[in-house]
Amino acid sequence: MSTVNLLQKEPSQGGAGAVNEVLLALPANIRSMLTALPFSWQEKVEEIRLRQGRPLLIGLANEDVFLRADGRPTHRFEEAYQVTPLDMERVVQLISGSSLYALEEEFRNGFITLPGGHRAGITGKAVLEGGKVRTLKYISGCNIRISREISGAASAILPYMLNGEGGIFHTVIVSPPCCGKTTMLRDLIRQVSNGVPELGFTGLTVGVVDERSEIAGCYKGIPQRDVGLRTDVLDGCPKAEGMMMLLRAMGPRVIAADEIGRNEDVQALEEVLNAGVKLIITAHGKSLAELLERPALGKIIKSKMLERFVILSRSRGVGTLEEVIDGKLMRPIEVRKC
Residue 149 near residue 182 (C-beta atoms within 8 A): no
Q: Name the more confident of 293 and 12.
A: 293
195 and 328: one domain? yes
pLDDT at position 183 over 80: yes
70 and 185: one domain? no
Q: Please, is 238 exposed, middle or buried when counting C-beta atoms within 10 Å of its C-beta (0-12, 13-18, 19+)? A: middle
Domain boundary among 84, 110, 145: 145
171 and 140: one domain? no
Domain boundary among 145, 169, 190: 145
Give dist(CA 44, CA 121) in Å, integer.
19
pLDDT in tens, 99-112: 666 567 666 777 78
Residue 153 lies in a domain: no
192 and 95: one domain? no
Residue 65 lies in a domain: yes
Beta strands in the chain (DSSP E): 4-5, 47-51, 57-59, 64-67, 73-74, 111-113, 119-129, 132-145, 171-175, 206-210, 231-235, 254-257, 278-284, 308-313, 320-326, 331-333
The CATH number of whichever domain residue 181 belongs to comes to: 3.40.50.300
pLDDT score recorded for residue 1 = 47
Q: Could you give the number of structural domains in the chain?
A: 2
In one letter, which amino acid is 253? R
pLDDT in tens, 117-173: 788 888 988 888 888 877 778 889 999 988 778 889 999 999 999 999 999 999 999
Question: Taking CA 289 as the corner, what is the angle to CA 287 and CA 294, rounded to the nearest 5 degrees?
Answer: 105
197 and 131: one domain? no
pLDDT score recorded for residue 214 = 85
What separation in angstroms does the CA of 217 have from each of 120, 235, 299? 12, 9, 32
* Domain coverage including residue 101: 4-145
Band (pLDDT 50/70/90 cuts) for residue 96 is: confident
Parallel, antiparallel, or unpaired: how do β-strands 320-326 and 4-5 relate? antiparallel
Give dist(CA 14, CA 20) in Å, integer.
9
3-state DSSP call for residue 221? coil
